[in-house]
Amino acid sequence: MSTQFDVVVIGAGPGGYIAAIRAAQLGKKVACIDAWTDDAGNAKPGGTCTNVGCIPSKALLQSSEHFEQANHHFAEHGIEVGKVKLNLDTLIGRKDTVVKQNNEGILYLFKKNKVTFFSGKGEFAGKAADGSYSIKVTGKKEETLTAAHVIIATGSQPRALPGLDFDESQILSNDGALRIPAVPKKLGVIGAGVIGLELGSVWRRLGAEVVVLEAAPDFLAVADTQVAKEAQKAFAKQGLKVEVGVKIGEISKTAKVVTVPYTTAKGEEQVVVVDKLIVSIGRVPYTAGLNTEAVGLQLDERGFIAVDGDCKTNLPNVWAVGDVVRGPMLAHKAEEEGVAVAERIAGQHGHVNFDTIPSVIYTSPEIAWVGKTEQALKAEKRDIKVGSFPFLANGRARALGDTTGFVKVIADAKTDEVLGVHVVGPMASELIAEAVTIMEFKGAAEDIARICHAHPTLSEAMKEAALAVDKRALNF
């Protein structure tokens, strides 16, 4: 006998668990299935984000930043701590505790919202005459669920280099890179994207010599060029070596080291020998074991579940959200899609504004942006005005002792509508929220400039950059 649900969600990452909660809030009978467990078989809902992504990486970034501050910056504040000692087991253990708190938080939210949680693997088992779907769950016990609506939120997995599987001991994906048992002397990173920069920063701060090899000719080409340049300068000063425009050769490993031959942008042959190698060259959608063939669910040419702008698949009442569908692979994008799909199922008009999804890189300095870059707007031949304000001229940043970077506001030359905001500097991840709000309301630079910002705060740099659009910054 199978249990009947209005909505069955496959995957309890940020896309899936949030969709399940929202559907339950809207009065639906909801089940959520997730396969992630610890070694003892205990459920660990939260997906990549909670287990091996956003949350543990931010925990390590915080701890390693404290270590960096204690080692190199406390003295500037007159605090003498002597020789600072690292206890890596405690540092990694704290990260594991933070992850566990989040796993438990999701289980609590399921209970609170009356979402029935199944720990196990979900797969399509067929379609009934009434149009409902049969979903088989294989976990500690086997069960079959019947669903009027199915939301697929199975996420993504790291892309490996051809012929170089992850062993998580020497060749590390994000998973192994978050639990290296001893700080490597020399750490190689392939790919200077978000993971390469964040996790490269963690291990550099903890004492590793880090070399990042990037195939693209420009550093951080997704960001505004001025921001990328400022960040590159800061990373170089910290000792994070990034080489762009390289072509990676055939990587080999012995029990002790990994050898990475590569051709530089100038065509020179080089070899770097490292203790561990993080491969962070992007992620691919995860659909293995879903048995999509049983119901004829279509994938696109890159292996993503094919969906329209509303996250509808080719099958009636089957939806897909998050990393397993097109668009940026970000937790908040997955969540927004999850909410919108749950609302559509309930007959409401859920909406995701893809133009105002913020991007954040949690390095030091942090990098955050929303909307278009100056380069993209110029390529579109848009008539724009640009205003920037450096943190060097911001009182709070000076008090913090963290004055790297700037805020840049780009507005339409005629209407003054904000088209893009780019921040590199302290707390960029938090500052960007104001810009997202303004852009969501199609606000103008003048709107930011006229809002009263508390003093002294970093957010005043946002106001000053908006004033600078009209060439009337007050403090610079």
Residue 150 found at the interface with ligand FAD (CB under 6 A): no
Q: How far is the CB of 451 from ligand NAI (least distance, A)?
A: 27
CB-side neighbour CA atoms (13 Å) of 203: 30
Residue 281 found at the interface with ligand NAI (CB under 6 A): yes
Query: Which residues carry out catalysis?
Result: 455
Of the pair 328, 401, the CB lying nearest ligand FAD is at 328
Residue 286 found at the interface with ligand FAD (CB under 6 A): yes
Handedness of CA 182, 429, 105, 325 (dihedral sign): negative
Residue 16 found at the interface with ligand FAD (CB under 6 A): yes
CB-side neighbour CA atoms (13 Å) of 231: 34
Residue 36 found at the interface with ligand FAD (CB under 6 A): yes
What's CA 86's distance to the chain center, in Å?
27
108 is written with which tokens? Answer: 């609590």
Residue 283 found at the interface with ligand NAI (CB under 6 A): yes
Figure out which of the listed residues 176, 188, 322, 425 binds ligand FAD, where binding follows CB under 6 A.
322
Residue 217 found at the interface with ligand NAI (CB under 6 A): no
Virtual torsion, Cα 254, 258, 264, 268, nearest 10 deg: -30
- Choose one: 28-36, 295-303, 328-336, 449-457; the region binding ligand NAI (CB under 6 A): 328-336
Figure out which of the listed residues 49, 150, 194, 240 binds ligand NAI, where binding follows CB under 6 A.
194
Draw the binding track, 351-370, toward ligand NAI (x: CB under 6 A; -: no contact).
Answer: ---------xxx--------
Q: How far is the CB of 332 from ligand NAI (least distance, A)?
A: 8
Angle, to 10 degrees, between the axis of helix 14-25 and the axis of helix 331-345?
A: 30
Contact 171, 259 (CB under 8 A): no
| Collapsed DSSP state (helix, strand, coil) of residue 146 | strand
| Collapsed DSSP state (helix, strand, coil) of residue 36 | coil
Of the pair 124, 235, the CB lying nearest ligand FAD is at 124
Residue 340 found at the interface with ligand FAD (CB under 6 A): no
Contact 221, 228 (CB under 8 A): yes
The residues facing 146 across adjacent strands are 4, 134
Figure out which of the listed residues 160, 164, 216, 272 binds ligand NAI, where binding follows CB under 6 A.
216
Partner in contact with 318, chosen from ligand FAD, ligand NAI, none, beta carbon below 5 to 8 Å by kind: none
C-alpha span between 80 and 69 (Å, rounded):
12
Q: How far is the CB of 49 from ligand NAI (least distance, A)?
A: 9
C-alpha span between 206 and 396 (Å, rounded):
27
- Residues in Cβ contact with 94 at an 8 Å cutoff, skipping those fewer than 6 apart: 59, 63
Partner in contact with 196, chosen from ligand NAI, ligand FAD, none, beta carbon below 5 to 8 Å by kind: ligand NAI
Q: How far is the CB of 274 from ligand NAI (least distance, A)?
A: 14
> What stretches of 64-141 adopt beta strand conformation (E)?
116-127, 133-139
252 is written with which tokens? Answer: 């080999």
Residue 410 found at the interface with ligand NAI (CB under 6 A): no
Task: Tell me which residue of 224, 208, 217 sits closest to 88, measured CA to CA.
Answer: 208
Of the pair 158, 184, the CB lying nearest ligand NAI is at 158
Residue 134 found at the interface with ligand FAD (CB under 6 A): no
Contact 441, 417 (CB under 8 A): no
What DSSP state is assigned to residue 341? H
Residue 174 found at the interface with ligand FAD (CB under 6 A): yes
Residue 156 found at the interface with ligand FAD (CB under 6 A): yes
Contact 224, 369 (CB under 8 A): yes
Residue 155 found at the interface with ligand NAI (CB under 6 A): no
Partner in contact with 15, chosen from ligand NAI, ligand FAD, none, beta carbon below 5 to 8 Å by kind: ligand FAD
Partner in contact with 334, chosen from ligand FAD, ligand NAI, none, beta carbon below 5 to 8 Å by kind: ligand FAD
Of the pair 119, 388, the CB lying nearest ligand FAD is at 119
Residue 345 found at the interface with ligand NAI (CB under 6 A): no
The residues facing 418 across adjacent strands are 411
C-alpha span between 355 and 59 (Å, rounded):
29
Of the pair 11, 371, the CB lying nearest ligand FAD is at 11
Q: How far is the CB of 158 from ligand NAI (least distance, A)?
A: 7
Residue 334 found at the interface with ligand FAD (CB under 6 A): yes
Task: Tell me which residue of 304, 259, 47 sits closest to 174, measured CA to CA.
Answer: 47
| Collapsed DSSP state (helix, strand, coil) of residue 415 | coil
Residue 196 found at the interface with ligand NAI (CB under 6 A): yes
The residues facing 412 across adjacent strands are 384
- Choose one: 127-135, 209-217, 225-233, 433-441; the region binding ligand NAI (CB under 6 A): 209-217
Pairing of strands 384-390, 269-274: unpaired
Draw the binding track, 112-131, toward ligand FAD (x: CB under 6 A; -: no contact).
Answer: ---------xxx--------
Please list every residue from 182 through 241 that binds ligand FAD, using CB under 6 A: 195
Q: Is the bond preceding 456 in cis, omega lying within 30 degrees of 0?
A: yes
| Collapsed DSSP state (helix, strand, coil) of residue 164 | strand
C-alpha span between 429 and 194 (Å, rounded):
14
**Interface with ligand NAI (CB under 6 A):** 190-196, 198, 213-216, 248, 280-283, 328-330, 360-362
**Interface with ligand FAD (CB under 6 A):** 10-16, 33-36, 47-49, 53-54, 57, 121-123, 153-156, 174, 195, 286, 289-290, 322-324, 329-332, 334
